[in-house]
């Protein structure tokens, strides 16, 4: 395995690319872990209609903006990103609920 250097330690374009590839892999792994939590949340929802939880989305977006700004990344970009991924996760959770929970009490 190639050693991952910090951005400050990178001495070549290849070092930078290796670092970016490692981060992208970890982002994808984090998104997959997030999906497992989303699927688990379906265990606590009485029906598929309970899944969207717009009040939860409304509460979490400002916090994500704050986290982004504190990390030095544009909060507006992060909000746009979440506005894209949240509906996808909701749709996947609805599908998951339908396949694993429908008909259960």
Residue pointed to by tokens 């704050």: 66
- C-alpha dihedral sign at 29, 92, 60, 37: negative
Helices 54-71 and 75-100 cross at an angle (nearest 10°) of: 140
DSSP3 helix / strand / coil % (the chain, rounded to 5): 75, 0, 25
Residue 65 annotated as part of some ligand binding site: no
104 marked as part of a ligand binding site: no
Distance CA 63, CA 68 (A): 9
Q: Does 17 appear as a known binding residue?
A: yes
Q: Is 64 annotated as a binding residue?
A: no
Binding-site residue set = 17, 34, 45, 93
Binding-site annotation, residues for substrate: 17, 34, 45, 93
């Amino acid at each position: 395995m190639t050693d991952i250097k910090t951005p400050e330690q990178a001495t070549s374009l290849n070092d930078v690319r290796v670092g970016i590839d490692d981060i992208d892999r970890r982002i994808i792994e984090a998104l997959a872990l997030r999906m497992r939590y989303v699927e688990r949340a379906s265990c606590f929802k009485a029906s598929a209609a309970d899944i969207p939880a717009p009040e939860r989305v409304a509460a979490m977006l400002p916090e994500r903006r704050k986290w982004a700004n504190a990390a030095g990344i544009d909060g507006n970009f992060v909000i746009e990103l979440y506005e894209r991924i949240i509906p996808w996760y909701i749709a996947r959770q609805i599908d998951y609920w339908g396949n694993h929970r429908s008909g259960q009490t």
